[in-house]
Amino acid sequence: MMSDHLSDATIQALVDDELPETLRAAAEAHLASCAQCREAVASLASVAETVAETAPEDCHFCASGQFWDRLSCRLSRVADRESPYAVMALIPPLLLGAAGLAIWLISWVVTIVTLLTWAGVIPPLGGLLADMAALHRTSLHTPILLRWFLDAVVALAGTIRSSSANWPSAARSIVRFGLVQGLLSLSLAITVALFAVWAACMPDCQPTGGGTAA
Amino acid sequence: MEEEKQYEGQLVRRANRGDLDAFGEIVERYRLRVLRTAHGIVGSSDEAEDVAQEVFVKAWQALDSFRPGGSLGSWLYRITVNAAIDATRRRRPQVNLDDIAPPPSEQYTERSVLDAEEAERVRRAVRHLPPASRAALVLREYEQLSYAEIAEVLDVPMGTVMSRLHYARQSLKDALSSQDLNHDV
């Protein structure tokens, strides 16, 4: 724009009603006598008005309630993820699952040791424990409390040996196996049941609250 | 005006404490403004809805960062502009102008003297502006924000707002006066 005409910035500020009062009077006085600047102002105002008229109205978009329903669903998911207590809900089933897994592993160790003992591959563990305990319980270097404990182990091993001496080895193995596997199955069943209860208590994706927006 | 600001500040504080009703009121106050701004930048109603959803989720997550005494409107507009520009950048390689033309139902709801074809021509020209100029233009023409408010939303000096607006309007004037606009796009 030439210096004897209004600058682009002035024309724009005039169209947008952003020109300070002090400059506005001078600009309007210039416009009264300058057809070129009047045309520039009218042209810019026309563009601004044309764009403003294409602004979408409410009817272009989904209803307010529908918008809120979708949003509140997303917000509830965000809130659950952010809450430190959300992790707490996972702890009981995870602990039970870990306990179930531990029992399952122990049951296999016990089963394998029992079968190896029955097959004569390794000596009976009860006997081994009793022998070890007998070795140390009389030693003067063994602390008194440990000696009392070893006495109890020896007594217990003796009781087990005398009470089960008449059982066929295979039957004993089967009973132990069944007992351990039964415990394992029970713990797994409890874990699964708790998982199911936990899943049922999880908040589902339904709109909640926000009555003002609906 | 000041009372309005204080009330909105209270809404933000309540929402920040997890009050979903308070946040619902914020959403209801700004939903249309956010949708309109997003529509101006992304160019389609469906995408504007997605952007608006994203805006309010981000706002919900970032309520902590809202400066007490600040303008809730400017804060939400800023999130909207950023989200909408991100959305246009994400889908730019797959953009197809036939896809972003408004559905038939939209073509007959213009409130002005503009006919549907003219309105679509203008929107298409707006969509061809660089994102920064488009955002400034939409905030000015759709939302009627002042230069100072646009500068706050876009976090740029007022002179930059004016130059972006000037560039946008000049480009639009050239595009709309061109008879070959439809062939260009």
Domain-by-domain residue ranges, chain B? 2-184
Query: A9–B166: do the CB atoms touch at under 8 Å?
Result: yes
User: What is the SS3 assignment for A204?
Assistant: coil
Same domain, A13 and A47: yes
Q: Which residues in chain B have Cβ-Cβ distances shorter than 8 Å to A12?
A: 162, 165-166, 169
For A120, left (φ over 0), alpha (ψ -120 to 50), or beta?
left
Distances (CA, A) of B173 to A43, B46, B77, B137, B176: 8, 28, 26, 13, 5
Whether A207 maps to a domain, the answer reads: no
Which pLDDT tens digit goes with each residue over A59-103?
A: 778 787 888 888 988 888 776 656 556 566 667 777 777 777 787
In terms of domains, do A36 and A105 share one?
no
pLDDT of res. A117: 72
Mean pLDDT for the stretch of residues A35-49: 91
Check whether residue A90 and residue A133 sit in a common domain. yes
The number of domains in chain A is 2
Range of the domain at A12: 8-55
pLDDT on residue A86: 59
Which pLDDT does position A3 carry in this prediction?
58
Please report whether residue A61 resides in a domain: no
Same structural domain, A157 and A191: yes
Confirm or reject contact between A193 and chain B (CB < 8 A): no
pLDDT digits (tens, 9 = 90+) for A93-134: 777 777 777 877 777 777 777 677 777 777 776 677 667 777
Chain A residue closest in CA terms to B59: A75
Residues A71 and A51 reside in one and the same domain: no
Q: Chain B residues with CB inside 8 Å of A44's CB? A: 169, 173
Is residue A108 one of the residues assigned to a domain?
yes
Dump the DSSP string for A89-105: TTHHHHHHHHHHHHHHH
pLDDT of residue A201: 65
Q: Quick one: pLDDT at residue A113?
A: 74
* Residues A73 and A96 occupy one common structural domain: yes
Contacting residues for A104 by C-beta, under 8 A, at least 6 apart: A184, A188
Q: Tell me, yes or no, whether A109 and A149 share the same domain.
A: yes
Which tens digits make up the pLDDT trace of A149-189? 777 766 666 665 665 555 565 566 566 666 766 777 777 77
Question: In terms of domains, do A32 and A84 share one?
Answer: no
Residue with tokens 């809900």: A89
Residue A31 lies in a domain: yes
**Nearest CA-CA distance, residue B87 and chain A, Å:** 18
CB contact under 8 A, B176 and A54: no
Binned at pLDDT 50, 70 and 90, residue B75 comes out as very high
* Structural fold of domain B2-184: Rna Polymerase Sigma Factor; Chain: A (1.10.1740)
Residue B184 has pLDDT above 60, yes or no: no
> Does the CB of A77 have a partner CB in chain B at under 8 Å?
no
pTM of the model: 0.61
Res. B103: pLDDT tops 50 = no
In chain A, what residues touch B35 (CB-CB under 8 Å)?
A: 56, 60-61
Contact B106/A62, CB-based, under 8 Å? no
**A129 and A47 in a common domain:** no
| Same domain? A135 vs A45 | no
The count of residues in chain A is 214
Find the range with the poorest average confidence among A6-10, B6-10, B66-70, B145-149.
Answer: B66-70
Closest Cβ opposite residue A67 in set B25, B31, B172: B31
* Nearest to B9, CA basis, from B68, B62, B50, B58: B68
Rounded Cα–Cα distance for residues B124 and B12 (Å): 36
The confidence band for B29, taking pLDDT boundaries of 50, 70 and 90, is very high
Q: What is the pLDDT of residue A206?
A: 40
Overall size of chain B counted in residues: 185
Which of B8, B19, B20, B33 is most worth mutating to test chain A (most A CB atoms within 10 A of its CB)?
B20
Interchain proximity B21–A53, CB inside 8 Å: no
Buried b (16+ CB within 10 A) or exposed e, B151-166: bbbbeeeeebbbbbbb
Does residue A88 lie within any of the structural domains? yes
Residue-level pLDDT at B97? 45
Per the CB < 8 Å rule, is A212 touching B25? yes
Contacts of B146 in chain A (CB under 8 A): 18
Nearest to B61 among A18, A54, A78 (CB): A78
Whether residue A50 sits in one domain with residue A89:
no
Residue A188: what residue type? L
**H/E run at residue B39:** helix B20-42
Residue A3 lies in a domain: no
* Residue of chain B whose alpha carbon sits nearest to that of A66: B49
Considering CB atoms only, which of A47, A54, A210 is closest to B119? A54
Is residue A182 located within the same domain as residue A92?
Answer: yes
| A203 has a pLDDT exceeding 80 | no
